[in-house]
Amino acid sequence: MTKVKICGITSEQDALMAVDAGADALGFVFFDKSPRFIGVEAAARIIEKLPPFVQVVGLFVNEDLDVVNSTADCCGLDIVQLHGEESPEFCRLVRRRVMKAFRVRGPESLTPLADYRVAAYLLDAYSPHAYGGTGEVFDWECAIAAKQQGRVVLAGGLTPENIAAAVTRVQPYGVDVSSGVEASPGKKDPDKVRRFIQLAKHPHPI
């Protein structure tokens, strides 16, 4: 069954709602240029309230290694998601499992994957304007090809309307959604979250 990460959590209410809806992981954005940015202390307070068996993911973009590791320790992160131009060596020095994000323009964007030994590859749509959360979709054939390198987490423009098709076509290890289940940047829509998770885990209704 496909794992589901709800990213861009900024409130305890949204965090607990997503968990109750069946989310396997929650993402917290520690990138201050994002509209979904959350501070370390605020994130730690939310994470303290989470039940067991929910994975906590921290998203960073070209951040100093010491900051990544200290934030992971402070918040008790399970996974570090690196969304910038971080090198394979940088990933090896992170004191958590790493999910490395790659912004896909086309098949050529997959070439660097072989250099990274990480827990999973997150594939997002390329945008010159942002590192993620743009709501744009890329060619899912690239995600299918990337599975040869390891576990793939599919992101980029996923919504309750297209998630069943995405999961059926790509059969990824997991999916990651942020803007596709929001009422506004950083504020989740409970109905969209529930529908998204249900369709991601059960794309073929019985």
- Measured CA to CA, the distance from residue 119 to residue 35 in angstroms comes to 27
75 is catalytic: no
Cα 119 to Cα 199: distance, rounded to the nearest angstrom? 25
Helix (H) or strand (E) holding 57: strand 55-60
Q: Is 139 a catalytic residue?
A: no
- Cα–Cα dist 107/129, whole Å: 21
Spatial separation of the C-alpha atoms in residues 81 and 124, rounded to whole Å:
12
Any idea of the CA torsion for 59, 60, 61, 66, to the nearest 10 degrees? -170
Residue 152, strand partner residues: 121
Q: Please tell me which residue in 7, 75, 91, 142 is annotated as part of the active site.
A: 7
**Catalytic pick from 14, 75, 91, 124?**
124
DSSP conformational letter for 21: T
How far is residue 198's CA from residue 32's CA, in Å, rounded to a whole number? 31
Which phi-psi region, left, alpha or beta, contains residue 48 (left: φ > 0; alpha: ψ -120 to 50)? Answer: alpha
By annotation, the residues acting in catalysis are 7, 124
